[in-house]
Structure 1
Amino acid sequence: MSFSKLFFTIFFHFLIFSTVNSIDDSDISIDPNGYLLYCPCMGRFGNQAEQFLGTLQFAKSIDRTLILPPFIEYVDYKVTFQPFENIFEIDHINEYHRVMTMNDFLKKLSPLIWKHENRSITCYDSRHFSTNNNNKKEGCNPFEGSPFKEFWHHLGVQEFPLGSLYYKPLHTDYNYANDWRQKFRNVTVLALVGAPSSFPTNSAAVKLSKYIYFTKNIMEKANKYRMDRGFGQKPYLAVHLRHGIDWIRACELIHSNPDLKQLFSSQQCLGDKDKQHRWLNNRITFDLCYPSFEQIIDGIKSSIQSYNNQDEVKRNEKQPIQHIYIATDLNNESMWLDLNQTLAKHFSSSSSTLTLITPTLTLNTIDGTFSEYKKPSPHFLIDLYLLSHSNSFIGNCISSFSAFITRYRLYRLHFFHTTHFFSFHRPNSVHLRDEL
């Protein structure tokens, strides 16, 4: 290296570090290994949360600090953003690998190491959105499509002056870590147009759910809602019920593809290619995706009986489950009335009553009475917390939202025996090894 280049390098690093030290309230130093930034632009919360685990694993493998993106929400058909740190605690994730909030990065480091003129965007290969060959632009085209454009603009990024970088033929897999480190060793902030993780993510990344902790704010809001609905401090069965029209259309893919091996998060029930064995002969059945009314009743009945037959409950050391909390994508009040009436018949010999808590109704199985809950339905994060921390849970094998809850219960809380699925009876050997 020539003397002039050496002098410039030393001066540049001196300038950066002296500037960092001059930032008010800054306890952040620059990571010499660089940073990883990405757009969580695939699907809703369940998909984004699953790809986050794969991305966290990937960031550790290439030894870059992961910049935590906001979660993307769709409210009244508009793209909105929820800061990561508003939902999950950062300190616990840092126990596994270095992470920092997007807000800290943009305010404290971006002016130093990711200035406008130094920005590039990375993708596998050129992405084309125009059907007109004359209008096709080569490059990652990070502002094409929603929510890509909204995401980068939310960060204050209007363009990437250094253009596009491609990681082809590499894959976003920790097995390619050395190749990634070598290929992008001169890129301080590696900004990716999408999450560097497969969907569904690999089974090793799933176990990182043990580092996921809800914030105190989410916990307090969920517990307040629980008190408002009348089941605070009481054991409850939580049910995640997908039966909206969009979900039904997705489930119909099973009818048109009878040999389908994987759909959304089906691996949480059937296993995946990383497992030595799969179950049900690899087949995804329609019932796994869209259980019938009878199967919903059977699932609720079986889960409650399983919990209430525990020795601790029989000895009155634990209260039995008498409340059922339903989180759903379709608030079908006529279905809740039918559900309440049918459960009343199944539990007619029980000395205690069951109470169904739906988004807008609270129903009593003994006398069939119900009351309306006239406040707005809870934010989905309240549902997420209450489903995750329930005494017993029934989820949907195909749903990525259910998959988040399942992972959290298995690896964070170790609630294996009280985590169930509609229309699927998981062998006891499955996941037990993973839980240890």
Structure 2
Amino acid sequence: LGHFEGNFKSMSITCIASDTSGRFGNQVDQLLGVMQFARNLDRTLVLPNFIEYEYPKTTMVPFESIFEVSYMKKYVKVIRMSIGPVGVWMKQSAKSRPSLCPTKHGWMPPHRRSDKDCLALCWSPRKSLYDESAPVGCQAKEGNPFGPYWDKIGVSFAHDAYFGDLPGGYDLTKPGSKAAWLERYLKWTSRIMEKALQFIKQELPRPFIGIHLRNHNDWDRVCDHVPSKSSTQPLFASMQCDGEEFYDGQLTKEICSPSASTVVEQVVDMVGRIGARSVFVASDKDHMIETINEALRPYEVKAHRLNPDDALVSLAILGQADHFIGNCVSTFSHLVKRERTNSKPSRPTSYFGIRGQRRQMEL
């Protein structure tokens, strides 16, 4: 079991997360759920690698390269996936290395367990995407990156279990639900925070506004799910906006994918409101730097971005902004929102496409 660090003799069942779906924000959302799952079962959580989808390949990034392990230990028992000498062992072919699996007695190699004990936990059973004759199940190793992820860390399954719907699990309007967010146990490593604070010191005189623009081609396909008028159905992280000022629960395309005019108007308006001296922009495609700077010229305020991009440092910078304007549907924005809500004191957040009516002046 040299795969993972820690004393396995003192452990019962160990939980390992597969944070493989979607971009970083989605992966963190999955991690938060697994944290509570492991704690409620009084189990040890194997801290997962995060996956960076850098074209043309994907890269596994160790948890401890992004977040401080010491803060996680304040909430749940954890161990780390090893990235030391066993990394060479992990690179061996699947045929030449032993396989681990979670069982009711803990994590065991083949010679200590029965295949029927290997347990994959998922929300509900589903059909196989590739084999119509296969029985419904978790399909835990089906597709990419799921199969390669489990194979790389040497985990195999032979049995499924489902934990089903959790009543009210997504009801963020329930009193106390946001106060219980586990984001406070996710603290950026000193490496990431030092880069963020250095950029703020050099480029972003305070007060500064941070904004997140989600406008890559794939986002258009996401927002196509919003009806032409509006919808009350949640989409991705849109429940984060429930209870926010001026939001009536109606998700619109303009909220999901705000127009350039909406972005500029809200940035200019907030610059005037808080007397901002700079703006930081994070985006997955178009940062709109020239457009925003043109609109801010009368205020003698400039917008800045990281070049080259670094999503993790951008997240840390956005968390430190005096005001943050995010995308209501984006899990990336939601990660920033949770960090800001849990900061001491909390920092204000608003969303593109959600704003009050301009007051009309009568002369």
For 1:80, the equivalent position in structure 2 comes to 59
1:57 and 1:205 in contact (8 A); partners too: no
2:246 and 2:354 in contact (8 A); partners too: no
For 2:20, the equivalent position in structure 1 comes to 41
The residue identity in structure 2 corresponding to 1:423 is G
Matched, 1:223 2:197: yes
Cα gap change, 1:116 to 1:243, in 2 (>3 Å): same
For 1:293, the equivalent position in structure 2 comes to 260
For 2:285, the equivalent position in structure 1 comes to 330
The residue identity in structure 1 corresponding to 2:352 is F
**Inter-partner Cα distance in structure 1 for 2:277 and 2:246:** 33
Q: Which of 387, 406, 422 is equivalent to 2:352?
A: 422
For 1:171, the equivalent position in structure 2 comes to 164
Matched, 1:302 2:255: no
For 1:408, the equivalent position in structure 2 comes to 339
| Structure (1 or 2) with the larger CA radius of gyration | 1
The residue identity in structure 1 corresponding to 2:18 is C
1:46 and 1:403 in contact (8 A); partners too: yes
For 2:81, the equivalent position in structure 1 comes to 102
**Inter-partner Cα distance in structure 2 for 1:241 and 1:411:** 22
Q: Which has the larger helix fraction?
A: 1
1:58 and 1:172 in contact (8 A); partners too: no
**Inter-partner Cα distance in structure 2 for 1:279 and 1:235:** 24
1:35 and 1:66 in contact (8 A); partners too: yes
The residue identity in structure 1 corresponding to 2:277 is Q
Matched, 1:150 2:140: no
Q: Which of 64, 67, 71 is equivalent to 2:46?
A: 67
CA deviation after TM superposition for structure 1 residue 409, in Å = 0.3
**Inter-partner Cα distance in structure 2 for 1:100 and 1:199:** 31
**Inter-partner Cα distance in structure 1 for 2:66 and 2:82:** 14
Pairwise CA RMSD of aligned residues? 3.5
The residue identity in structure 2 corresponding to 1:340 is N
**Counterparts of 1:142-291 in structure 2 under 5 Å?**
142-157=140-155, 159-160=156-157, 163-167=158-162, 170-171=163-164, 173=166, 203=177, 207-226=181-200, 230-231=202-203, 234-255=206-227, 258-271=230-243, 280-291=247-258
For 1:129, the equivalent position in structure 2 comes to 128
**Counterparts of 1:342-353 in structure 2 under 5 Å?**
342-345=295-298, 347=299, 353=300
Deviations 1:244-273 (A, max 9, x none): 2221221122135843421111111125xx
Cα gap change, 1:303 to 1:413, in 2 (>3 Å): farther
Cα gap change, 1:133 to 1:267, in 2 (>3 Å): closer
- Structure 2, unaligned runs of 5 or more: 87-99, 357-363
**Inter-partner Cα distance in structure 2 for 1:149 and 1:140:** 12
The residue identity in structure 2 corresponding to 1:381 is L
The residue identity in structure 1 corresponding to 2:318 is L
Q: Which of 377, 383, 397 is equivalent to 2:308?
A: 377
Aligned-pair identity (%): 29
1:67 and 1:105 in contact (8 A); partners too: no
2:120 and 2:161 in contact (8 A); partners too: yes
**Inter-partner Cα distance in structure 2 for 1:198 and 1:86:** 29
Cα gap change, 1:414 to 1:267, in 2 (>3 Å): farther
1:143 and 1:149 in contact (8 A); partners too: yes
Counterpart secondary structure, 1:302: helix
2:204 and 2:279 in contact (8 A); partners too: no
**Inter-partner Cα distance in structure 1 for 2:166 and 2:228:** 31
Matched, 1:355 2:285: no
1:388 and 1:405 in contact (8 A); partners too: yes
2:47 and 2:80 in contact (8 A); partners too: yes
1:396 and 1:402 in contact (8 A); partners too: yes
For 1:189, the equivalent position in structure 2 comes to none
**Inter-partner Cα distance in structure 2 for 1:60 and 1:105:** 27
CA deviation after TM superposition for structure 1 residue 344, in Å = 2.1
**Inter-partner Cα distance in structure 1 for 2:85 and 2:7:** 12
**Inter-partner Cα distance in structure 2 for 1:72 and 1:81:** 5
For 1:363, the equivalent position in structure 2 comes to none
CA deviation after TM superposition for structure 1 residue 148, in Å = 0.5
**Inter-partner Cα distance in structure 2 for 1:106 and 1:97:** 26
Deviations 1:320-375 (A, max 9, x none): x311111112236xx43232222224x3xxxxx2121135xxxxxxxxxxxxxxxx
For 2:321, the equivalent position in structure 1 comes to 390
TM-score normalized with structure 2 length: 0.78
Cα gap change, 1:150 to 1:130, in 2 (>3 Å): same
Counterpart secondary structure, 1:133: coil
Q: Which of 93, 96, 116 is equivalent to 2:72?
A: 93
Q: Which of 339, 346, 356 is equivalent to 2:292?
A: 339
**Inter-partner Cα distance in structure 2 for 1:298 and 1:57:** 40
**Counterparts of 1:110-125 in structure 2 under 5 Å?**
113-117=107-111, 118=113, 120-124=118-122
**Inter-partner Cα distance in structure 2 for 1:115 and 1:211:** 31
CA deviation after TM superposition for structure 1 residue 420, in Å = 1.8
Deviations 1:268-313 (A, max 9, x none): 1125xxxxx99744310122112222321232123223323xxxxx
